[in-house]
A and B are shown apart, each in its own frame.
Chain A
Amino acid sequence: MRFGGLTAVRSVDFTVNAGEIVGLIGPNGAGKTTFFNCLTGLYVPTEGTVSYQGTVLPPKPHLVTKAGIARTFQNIRLFANMTVLENVLVGRHTRTKEGLWSALLRGPGFKKAEKASEERAMELLDFIGLAHKRDHLARNLPYGEQRKLEIARALASEPGLLLLDEPTAGMNPQETRATEELVFAIRDKGIAVLVIEHDMRFIFNLCDRVAVLVQGEKLVEGTSDVVQADERVVAAYLGEPFDGGTDDTTAETEAESTTGTTSTKGEAQ
Chain B
Amino acid sequence: MTETTKTPATPPADDATPAPGTRRGIIPLPLAAARALLLVGGIATAASTFLRWTWTSDFPGDLTVNGYPGGLQVLTLVAGLITTLFALATYEVRGLGWLVPARNNAPLVLTAVGGFAVTWYTVIAIAAKLGGIVNWEPGTYIAAVASLLPVIGALALPQDATDTTKEALKAYIAKAERVPAAQATAPWIQRLVITIVAALALTVFAYGIDAEDQLFVGFLIVVVFTAWALQTAGLFDRFSRLTAQNRSFALAMGFVAAIGFPFTQTNDHYANLGVNILIFGTVALGLNIVVGLAGLLDLGYVAFLGVGAYTAALVSGSEFSKFSGVQFPFWAAALTGAAASLIFGVLIGAPTLRLRGDYLAIVTLGFGEIFRISVNNMDGVSGPDITNGPNGIPSIPDLSFFGFNFGENHDIAGFTIGRFANYYLLMVLISALVVTIYRRASDSRIGRSWIAIREDETAATAMGINGFRVKLIAFALGATLAGLAGTVSAHVTYSVVPNPYQFAGAAPPNSAFLLAAVVLGGMGTVSGPFLGAALLYLLPEKLVALQDKSLLAFGIALILLMRFRPEGIIPNRRRQLEFHETGQLDVPDTTTLTDDPAITKAGA
- The closest CB in chain A to the CB of B469 belongs to A62
Q: How many residues of A contact B (CB 8 A)?
A: 63
B448 touches A90 (CB 8 A): yes
Q: Once the chains are docked, how many angstroms separate the CA of A78 from the CA of B458?
A: 10
Closest to B466 in A: A62
Main secondary structure of the interface of A (DSSP, over half): helix
Query: Closest chain A residue to B462 by CB distance?
Result: A61
- Smallest CB–CB gap between B155 and chain A, Å? 37
Residue from A106, A137, A177 whose CB has the most chain B CB atoms within 10 Å: A137
Do residues B446 and A103 form an inter-chain contact, with CB atoms below 8 A?
A: yes
Interface size (B, Cβ < 8 Å)?
45
Contact A79–B464 (Cβ < 8 Å): no
A89 within 8 Å of B (CB atoms) = yes
Q: Whole-angstrom distance between the alpha carbons of A110 and B445 in the complex?
A: 10
Q: Which of A71, A117, A129 has the most CB of B within 10 A?
A: A129
A137 and B586 contact, Cβ closer than 8 Å, known pairs A148-B602, A184-B603: yes
Question: Which residue of chain B is the closest to A145 with respect to CB atoms?
Answer: B598
In Å, the complex CA distance between A184 and B598 comes to 18
Whether B586 contacts A103 by the Cβ 8 Å rule is no
User: In the complex, which of the residues A42, A90, A128, A137 has the most CB atoms of chain B within 10 Å of its own CB atom?
Assistant: A90
Contact string against A for B residues 178-204, beta-carbon threshold 8 Å, 1 for contact and 0 otherwise: 000000000000000000000000000
CA distance in complex: A188, B401 (Å): 66
- What 0/1 pattern do residues 212 to 229 of A give for CB contact below 8 A with B? 000000000000000000
A104 touches B603 (CB 8 A): no
Chain B min CB distance to A161 (Å): 14
**A103 touching B441 by the CB < 8 A rule?**
yes
Q: Which of A61, A66, A114, A145 interacts with B444 by CB under 8 Å?
A: A114
A129 & B604 in contact (Cβ 8 Å cutoff):
yes
- Complex contact B577–A139 (CB within 8 A): yes
CB contact between B449 and one of A70, A90, A157 (< 8 Å): that residue: A90
Residues of chain A within 8 A (CB-CB) of B591 are 132-133, 135-136
Contacts of B603 in A (CB 8 A): 127, 178, 181-182, 184-185
Is the CB–CB distance between B459 and A78 below 8 Å? yes
Identity of the chain B residue whose Cβ is nearest the Cβ of A138 in the assembled complex: B455
A252 within 8 A of B: no
* Residues of chain B within 8 A of A81, CB atoms compared: 451, 455, 574-575, 577-578
Question: By the criterion CB–CB under 8 Å, are B444 and A79 in contact?
Answer: no
Contact with A along B588-599 (1 / 0, CB 8 A): 100100011011
Query: A5 near B: Cβ within 8 Å?
Result: no
A235 at the interface (CB under 8 A from B): no
A179 at the interface (CB under 8 A from B): yes
Residue of B nearest to A105 (CB): B440
Measured in the bound complex, the distance between the Cα atoms of B586 and A135 in whole Å is 8
Q: Is A33 an interface residue (CB 8 A)?
A: no
Assembly CA distance A9 to B440 (angstroms): 45
Q: Is A140 positioned at the interface, with any CB of B under 8 Å from its CB?
A: yes
Question: How long is the Cα–Cα vector from A98 to B208 in the complex, in angstroms?
Answer: 44
Chain B residues, CB < 8 A from A179: 602
A45 interface residue, CB < 8 Å from B? no
Q: Is the CB of A140 within 8 A of B463?
A: no
B437 contacts A by Cβ under 8 Å: yes
B600 at interface, CB cutoff 8 A:
yes
**Residues in A whose Cβ lies below 8 Å from that of B574:** 81-82, 137
Q: A129, B601: Cβ atoms under 8 Å?
A: yes
Whether the Cβ atoms of B602 and A65 lie closer than 8 Å is no
Cβ-based interface call for A10 (8 A):
no
Q: B449 contacts which chain A residues (CB < 8 A)? A: 90, 93
CA distance A65 to B452 in the complex (A): 16
Q: Is A244 an interface residue (CB 8 A)?
A: no
Q: Which residues of B are found within 8 Å of A178, using beta-carbon distances?
A: 599-600, 602-603
Instruction: Decide yes or no whether B456 CB sits under 8 A from chain A.
Output: yes
Cβ of A142 < 8 Å from any Cβ of B?
A: yes
Known A-B contacts A62-B464, A79-B451, A129-B602; the reply to A135 vs B440 at CB < 8 A is no
Asked whether any CB of chain A lies closer than 8 Å to the CB of B465, the reply is yes
B233 contacts chain A at the CB level, 8 A cutoff: no
Quote the shortest CB–CB distance from A166 to chain B (angstroms).
Answer: 15
Decide yes or no whether A153 CB sits under 8 A from chain B.
Answer: yes
Contact of B440 among A93, A103, A174, A175 (CB under 8 A): A103
- A124, B574: Cα distance in complex, Å: 24
Contact (Cβ within 8 A) B446 A77:
no
Question: A65 to nearest B CB, angstroms?
Answer: 4
A136–B463 contact, CB under 8 A? no
When chains A and B are docked, how far (Å) is the Cα of A70 from the Cα of B459?
11
Indicate whether B583 reaches chain A with its CB closer than 8 angstroms.
yes
Contacts of A148 in B (CB 8 A): 602
Shortest CB distance B584–A (Å):
6
Within the complex, the shortest CB–CB distance from B271 to chain A, in Å, comes to 30
Contacts of B456 in A (CB 8 A): 77-80
29 examples of A-B residue contacts, CB within 8 angstroms? A42-B461, A42-B462, A61-B458, A61-B461, A65-B462, A66-B464, A78-B459, A79-B460, A81-B577, A81-B578, A86-B448, A93-B464, A94-B464, A98-B444, A100-B446, A100-B473, A103-B447, A104-B440, A104-B441, A128-B602, A136-B586, A140-B584, A142-B598, A143-B598, A157-B464, A174-B599, A178-B599, A181-B603, A184-B603
Chain B residues within 8 Å of A, Cβ to Cβ: 437, 440-441, 443-449, 451-452, 455-456, 458-467, 473, 477, 574-575, 577-578, 583-584, 586-588, 591, 595-596, 598-604
* Residue positions of A touching B, CB distance < 8 A: 40, 42, 61-62, 65-66, 70-71, 73, 77-83, 86, 89-94, 96, 98-100, 102-104, 106, 110, 113-114, 117, 127-130, 132-133, 135-137, 139-140, 142-145, 148, 153-154, 157, 174-175, 177-179, 181-182, 184-185
Query: Lowest 7 CB-CB distances: which A-B pairs, in order?
Result: A94-B464, A103-B444, A185-B603, A144-B598, A65-B464, A178-B602, A129-B600
